Amino acid sequence: MFHFLIPMNKQNETIENVLHDIYNLILTKGTREWEREQLIIAKDALAQEINVQSELSKLEAKLRPLALRNNLTPDVMDFYLKITGNTVDVQQEAYTRDNDNFAYQERAVFAGGCFWCMVEPFETQAGIVSVLSGYTGGKIEHPTYDQVSSGLSGHVEAVEIIFDQRIISYRDLVELYWQITDPTDAFGQFQDRGNHYHPIIFVQDHQQRQIAEQSKAELAFNYSQPIVTEIRQAETFWPAENYHQAFYKKQPKRYKAIKRARQQLLFYQTIKRKLHG
């Protein structure tokens, strides 16, 4: 259980101070929309003078996954550290104690066209802890969807996958990645065109690089065209806006239409490749 820096025995003063911080974060332009939604929920509860510690515990639990990955926006991270009274490293130790599976979890990042179509294939596999849509590979900090889709930020749309190594391996994920992308298309993926849809495997360490490069070399025997999917060292992963997360669940009809078109193009290219040897 984490401990607050703020004096919980001064209930009225505590509510006033916390609400002040939360209001400022809600109004701050740089606050990510998903973060703002969580802050508004906490604000509304605290405004009704509900137990401060209980509400902050709920807020901390929601912010924790991104805090542990250092992916909260700067001001929200400062607030997170303030209400916990600890560094992220200490929080990660606490999180590890609360989660027996943490030591078996590994991270993978793949870019393969629109991230709307990259979540479901991975998230529905056994052993997947979470799949987050986001941006990586560019030079702008805290990029927005508009900046990335303009093609000028240098980022690509990607998914960050946390998985349990005991159930599914990194090699399994790489093999699935090849099945849902076109490794010969350097200018996008299927109906998604532009540099921000470029296919890239972002590796976390030497072991992942070895697995990805070996798998890529083996894949080349199945294609007459060059494999253009890049293998690059992982960079900062910036979570996308909340409306992009779990898109296939939020917009099932729209997602199915996009997925169907993607699968048809993938099937067509598979048949074409077989016919032309």
pLDDT tens, position by position, 222-276? 888 899 999 999 999 988 887 888 888 888 898 898 888 888 888 877 776 655 5
Which amino acid is residue 106, in one-letter code?
Answer: E
Is 246 in contact with 119 (CB distance < 8 Å)?
Answer: yes
Question: How high does pLDDT run on average in the chain?
Answer: 83
- Which tokens sit at 213? 């490069």
pLDDT at 200: 97
pTM of the entire predicted model:
0.66
The pLDDT confidence band at residue 93, using thresholds 50, 70 and 90, is very low
Of 63, 66, 88, 114, the catalytic one is 114
Active site residue 117: no
Residue found under tokens 């199945």: 222
Class of domain 96-275: alpha beta
Beta bridge partners of 239: 134
Query: What pLDDT does 153 receive?
Result: 93
pLDDT (0 to 100) of residue 273: 62
